[in-house]
């Protein structure tokens, strides 16, 4: 066990030697200049662990940077823990504990090594250099060399700057606010941010639109484009820096009142399988309808919804006996009981074949025709695209912020993107590492120009 301690302590305390201090100082100096060139406050170079995370932002490898930082912290904490065992008696329990810590350290070191390579390979790409530079990042003792050369060398400049690009996209892609309409939904979202690690992360920015009553709208976007964040901002569940009005009433200021005007159907079904369809809807009515409504009126509303969604034939059947399409219609009807003005559905056709999906969307189309606004997220839009009036396309720009790449008619979207199929639009705007063409910025800017006239 003493051999284990000696080896690990040698590795740990080598960084505290004069040689280790010089190497660390040079690494900090190079990091300072790299952060400065990328538009990030350079003082972060002085903060252990956070420094590597900020470098990952420079290389557009922020997710990897989080693990890079976490693994570094784990390794350091456990090495310090082992230090306190250095004079412990050579007992079986102590030895077992030290061995376990050693295994965790080795695992964390492997994770640290993998994400070290990924972060700095991204930095190499940002500076447009040859991949052979990565050899200098394999060990800690040589990592400072490329950082010093790139940081202090005037001929080495990053292809993009973290803060500058955010500002440029904001300047070029800012749209004018949508006029508030009295009969419909108006969304003027300036931004939606969260505090993440050591900076404010922008989730959505600059999304403005007005949707009239009676419209059925497709919400389209790749993974991480901000569809769920947008929906939560619209229905008031997660407030953004925005003004959202429904039929002239402010969603945020009058949230308690307006929450009954919005129906939201999540992808997952939350229905008790042993209840009948009728009892399920009666239970939902007791939650979604005002307690002032008489029992006979509540029952009449349930019967009306049963007819609206074609559930009459299974009115007294148990939920577990329903087909997939019938369960979906039941989930939707539960939210529809309160007669909302805005209906939002997250993948209502998930798990359904084309026929059942078609029947479901026909029901939604009928609801929209009754004067409601329907917003639907679906990954198979083309099989029912003729039922929609409009489309919202969200895309992640170069800063990984959800932006509005298009809002308008279906035919207008086909002309705007040059695609006949809606699913092909996703390929255009997705990043290259997601199997797309990486043209999100192009269409965000193009739409901003169109929206601004």
**Judgement on whether residues 276 and 379 belong to the same structural domain of the protein:** yes
Residue 151 and residue 180 in one domain: no
Read off the pLDDT of each residue in 137-159 and give the average, rounded to a whole number: 89
Write the CATH number for 224. Answer: 3.40.50.300
Both 149 and 203 in one domain: the answer is no
- Regarding whether 119 and 179 lie in a shared domain, the answer is no
Residues in the chain, how many? Answer: 453
The number of CA neighbours under 13 Å toward the Cβ of 441 is: 14
pLDDT in tens, 163-215: 544 454 555 455 567 888 889 999 999 889 887 666 677 889 899 999 999 99
Q: Residue 175: what pLDDT?
A: 58
Q: Which of 137, 159, 181 represents a domain boundary (last residue)?
A: 159
Query: At 220, is the secondary structure helix, strand, or coil?
Result: strand
Helices (H) and strands (E) in the chain, counts: 16, 10
Q: Are residues 301 and 200 part of one domain?
A: yes
Instruction: Read off the pLDDT of residues 12-71 as tens digits, 9 standing for 90 and up.
Output: 444 556 777 788 889 999 999 999 998 888 999 999 888 988 998 888 888 888 888 888
pLDDT at 10 over 50: no
Tell whether 184 and 106 lie within a shared domain: no
Is residue 147 domain-shared with residue 189, that is, in the same domain? no
Starting from the edge strand earliest in sequence, which strands make up the sheet with 241-246, in order?
249-250, 241-246, 184-196, 199-212, 402-409, 390-396, 216-221, 373-377, 342-346, 262-265
Is 71 found in the same domain as 176?
no
Pair 318, 435 in one domain:
yes
* Rounded Cα distance, 76 and 29, in Å: 22
Distance CA 138, CA 120 (A): 10
Using the 3D structure, point to which of 124, 159, 194 is the last residue of a domain.
159
Torsion sign, CA atoms 323, 328, 334, 336: negative
Which residue would you say has higher pLDDT here, 257 or 407? 407
What global pTM score does this model have? 0.70
The pLDDT tens digits of the residues spanning 363-401 come to 899 999 999 999 999 888 999 999 999 999 999 887 788
- Choose the final residue of a domain: 133, 159, 185: 159
Rg (CA), the chain: 28
The closest of 375, 401, 399, 397 to 240, measured between CA atoms, is: 401
Q: What is the predicted pLDDT for the residue at 12?
A: 47
Considering the domain architecture, whether residues 229 and 281 belong to the same structural domain is answered as yes
Task: Report the domain count for the chain.
Answer: 2
Pair (299, 425) in one structural domain: yes
Phi, psi of 264 (to 5 degrees): -125, 125
Domain hosting residue 269, numbered range: 167-451
């Amino acid at each position: 066990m003493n051999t284990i301690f000696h080896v690990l302590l040698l590795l740990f305390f080598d960084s505290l030697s004069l040689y280790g201090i010089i190497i660390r100082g040079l690494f900090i100096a190079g990091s300072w200049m790299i952060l400065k060139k990328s538009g990030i406050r350079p003082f972060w170079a002085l903060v252990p662990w956070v420094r590597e995370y900020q470098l990952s932002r420079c290389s557009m490898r922020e997710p990897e940077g989080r693990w890079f930082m976490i693994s570094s912290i784990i390794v350091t904490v456990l090495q310090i823990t082992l230090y306190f065992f250095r004079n412990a008696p050579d007992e079986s329990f102590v030895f077992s504990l030290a061995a376990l810590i050693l295994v965790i350290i080795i695992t964390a070191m492997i994770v640290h090594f993998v994400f070290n390579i990924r972060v700095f390979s991204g930095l190499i790409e940002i500076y447009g250099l040859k991949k052979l530079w990565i050899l200098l990042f394999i060990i800690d003792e040589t990592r400072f060399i490329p950082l010093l050369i790139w940081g202090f060398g005037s001929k080495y400049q990053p292809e993009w700057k973290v803060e500058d690009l955010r500002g440029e996209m904001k300047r070029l892609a800012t749209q004018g606010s949508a006029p508030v309409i009295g009969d419909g939904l108006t969304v003027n979202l300036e931004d939606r941010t969260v505090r993440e690690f050591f900076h404010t992360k922008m989730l959505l920015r600059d999304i403005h639109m007005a949707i009239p009553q009676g419209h059925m709208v497709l919400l389209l976007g790749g993974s991480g484009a901000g569809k769920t964040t947008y929906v939560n901002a619209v229905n008031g569940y997660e407030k953004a820096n925005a003004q959202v009005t429904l039929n002239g009433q402010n969603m945020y200021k009058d949230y308690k009142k307006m929450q009954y005007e919005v129906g939201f159907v999540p992808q997952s079904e939350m229905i008790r399988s042993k209840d009948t369809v009728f009892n399920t809807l009666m239970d939902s009515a007791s939650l979604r309808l005002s307690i002032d409504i008489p029992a006979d009126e509540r029952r009449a509303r349930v019967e009306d919804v049963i007819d609206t969604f074609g559930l009459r034939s299974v009115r007294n059947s148990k939920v577990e006996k329903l087909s997939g399409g019938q369960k979906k219609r039941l989930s939707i009807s539960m939210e529809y009981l309160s007669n909302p003005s805005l209906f939002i559905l997250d993948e209502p056709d998930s798990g359904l074949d084309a026929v059942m999906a078609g029947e479901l969307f026909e029901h939604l189309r009928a609801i929209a025709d009754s004067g409601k606004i329907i917003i639907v997220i679906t990954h198979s839009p083309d099989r029912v695209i003729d039922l929609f009036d409009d489309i919202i396309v969200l895309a992640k720009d170069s800063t990984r912020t959800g932006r509005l790449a298009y809002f308008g008619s279906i035919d207008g979207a086909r002309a705007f993107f040059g695609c006949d199929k809606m699913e092909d639009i996703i390929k255009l705007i997705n990043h290259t590492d997601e199997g797309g063409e990486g043209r999100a910025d192009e269409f965000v800017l193009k739409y901003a120009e169109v929206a601004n006239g």
